[in-house]
Chains A and B, each alone.
Chain A
Amino acid sequence: MASESKYLLELNDIEAGYGRAALVLRGLTVQVPPATVVCLVGPNGAGKSTVLKVASGMLAPRSGSIVVDGVDVTGTNSQHMLKHGLAHVLQGHSVFREMTVAENVLLGAFTIKDQKAIDERVAFVQNLFPIVGERWKQLAGLLSGGQQKQVEFARSLMVSPKVVLLDEPSMGLDPKTTAKVFEQVARMRDAGTAVLLVEQNARRALETADIGCVLDLGRVHISGPAPELLADPALGDLYLGGRPADSAHVGGSTAEPATKGR
């Protein structure tokens, strides 16, 4: 039964790992409110991508719970997670390269039977990502890296997900294209979709995000409004590759101050 929750996605006290190897996530808790970009940053090996794999059902947690819009979906596989409203965009490029943009986007609606609903979503994603409509009949593998990313975003939105899980969307992209991709992430949020974002390019991602979580050794080390994390000089030195000269001016968030995680 669904219960009242102010979060669309809750990962509670998650422990997870691969095979018999040591745990990657050690008691991680993350919450994603509606129409919000939550960004996970942290050093390599902190478990950022593993969080998304657990959330989308690709990796079963050893303990803890996953709650989507008040419904406990712990132990559900990726097909069912999709039905519960979680769409996952993988790291790197994951378009079906030898299919057209149209085929890629329509495969996003593979689980939907209602043709009218599919047509409406196509119109929605073409409006949100104009390049998708412009390149509709082209092979996806022939698009640039940034354009392919937008096709992946569009594909993930075809099921009207409650939360989109984005794994390193800027990977392999040049700075200009990266900026465009983050613009599209913000547009997804503005269109009402919550986003849980994992990103190596921490500073750029936090500039787009509403809430930031710093992961270290498999748990959330610090979390809070993204502008405050950006403005924190100690955090900048430790996790964001040093503090830019003007970062002290970033801030002004109405959200709560950054808090130490568990």
Chain B
Amino acid sequence: MSGSLLLQSVILGVLLGGLYALLAAGLTLYFGIMRVVMIAHSAFLILAAYLAWWFNRETGLDPMLSLVVTVPVFFLAGFLMQRLLVSRLKPLTLTMMSVLLTFAIALIIEGALGFIFTGTQRRIQLPYAGDSLNVFGAQVPVVKLVAFVLAAFALLSLYLLLKYTRFGRALRATIQHPEAARLVGIDTDRTAGYGFGLGLATAAIGGTALSLDATIYPSLHWHWIGPLMAIIVVGGLGSIPGAAIAAMLLGISQSLLQLPLGATWAQTVFYVALFATLMFRPQGFFGGRLAQRF
């Protein structure tokens, strides 16, 4: 194996890991806020990818411009989903029932996409789709780099929002101790709704980033939800930094394993990591005090 091939795999792994990190951050946010297992997260991801593709086809403009509409719409959809559906579940069985509820939502989205856009595979043709950069002999596709920058920018924005804004502090307080959060005057119900909206907004950005360089079809979300679930368990349920670190490590591992094993077997790295985590450190490797409570 040549050095440049190895370097290329590492770089591609980092680029893929960035996208995983953004998507897993959204997924772990739902769990952190309300112990909700959001199976439909990747379905919203594919929905956003379809909307970006459709926007590009209809207008001829760059698909990333669709974010101007999809981010606020997804945020609103997440808020309404939490307020009107998830918050109605009984606390005692919320986690289990959330699996069923969001599984149903995923099927509805998949069905709607198939109905509207048919099952035909779709792909955006970008003017820079074939361009690549040469980094010490490694060929790095520009489109993957753009997707990574978009995901990294979104993840950084999410971090800054959670860390330094009044809303971010309220959301973190709601995640860490809902009862105490209520007692300092935080409207935890509304905050949880906004948190859900934020999670879906990350799906909108992730889906758009994905659409730049992926062939999409309605059932593609099943291919994504497994690795994303594995990432948030490995990272520690409810921990956004944990999810980001695990996403990066597993993304790089997947990319490196593609060289000797091929794409199909390389995917199993997520499940091997999941099983190892559940056996040796069920609370996750990079945080996730919530998992112990769960």
Contacts and interface: CB of A to CB of B under 8 A. Distances in A.
Tell me, yes or no, whether A binds B. Answer: yes
A107 B169 CA distance: 8
A79 B185 contact: yes
A110 interface: yes
Contacts of A159: 185
Interface in A115-150: none
Given A83-B185, A97-B177, A107-B170, 6 more contacts: A79-B187, A88-B183, A96-B173, A96-B177, A99-B173, A110-B169
Which DSSP category, helix, strand, loop or mixed, fits chain A's interface?
loop
A78 B183 contact: yes
A155 B169 CA distance: 14
B281 interface: no
Given A99-B172, A99-B173, A94 B180 contact: yes
B176 interface: yes
24 contacts: A56-B183, A58-B182, A58-B183, A78-B183, A82-B184, A82-B185, A94-B179, A94-B183, A95-B177, A96-B176, A96-B177, A97-B176, A97-B177, A97-B289, A98-B289, A99-B172, A107-B169, A107-B170, A108-B184, A110-B169, A110-B184, A111-B184, A111-B185, A155-B184
Interface in A93-109: 94-99, 103, 106-108
Contacts of B176: 96-99
A228 B41 CA distance: 63
Interface residues of B, number: 17
A53 to B, nearest CB: 10
B257 interface: no
Contacts of A95: 177, 180
Contacts of A79: 182, 185, 187
Nearest to B166: A110
Contacts of A103: 169
Interface string B148-182: 00000000000000000010011011001101111
B186 interface: yes
B183 A98 contact: no
A11 interface: no
A87 interface: yes
Nearest to B238: A98
Contacts of A56: 183
Interface of A: 56, 58, 78-79, 82-83, 87-88, 90, 94-99, 103, 106-108, 110-111, 155, 159
Interface of B: 166, 169-170, 172-173, 176-177, 179-187, 289
B289 A107 contact: no
A90 B183 CA distance: 9
Nearest to A87: B183
A190 to B, nearest CB: 24
Contacts of A78: 182-183
Contact of B172 (A58, A98, A106, A108): A98
- Sort A-B residue pairs by CB-CB distance and give the 10 closest, nearest first: A111-B185, A94-B180, A96-B176, A110-B185, A82-B185, A88-B183, A110-B184, A107-B184, A79-B185, A96-B173
Contacts of B172: 96, 98-99
A79 B180 CA distance: 11
A110 B176 CA distance: 16
B156 to A, nearest CB: 19
B170 A110 contact: yes
A159 B183 CA distance: 11
Nearest to B180: A94
Contacts of B166: 110
Contacts of B179: 58, 90, 94
Nearest to B186: A110
Contacts of A90: 179-180, 183
A88 B181 CA distance: 11
B65 to A, nearest CB: 37
Contacts of B170: 107, 110
A108 B185 CA distance: 8
A104 to B, nearest CB: 9
The listed residue with most A CB atoms (<10 A of its CB), out of B180, B182, B184, B187, is B184
A96 B162 CA distance: 14
Contacts of A99: 169, 172-173, 176
B63 to A, nearest CB: 37
A202 to B, nearest CB: 25
Contacts of B289: 97-98
A107 B171 CA distance: 11
B236 to A, nearest CB: 11
A240 to B, nearest CB: 30
A107 B181 CA distance: 8
A93 B187 CA distance: 21
A82 B173 contact: no
Contacts of B177: 94-97
The listed residue with most A CB atoms (<10 A of its CB), out of B166, B180, B186, is B180
A96 B180 contact: yes
A36 to B, nearest CB: 22
A171 to B, nearest CB: 15
The listed residue with most B CB atoms (<10 A of its CB), out of A82, A97, A107, A108, is A107
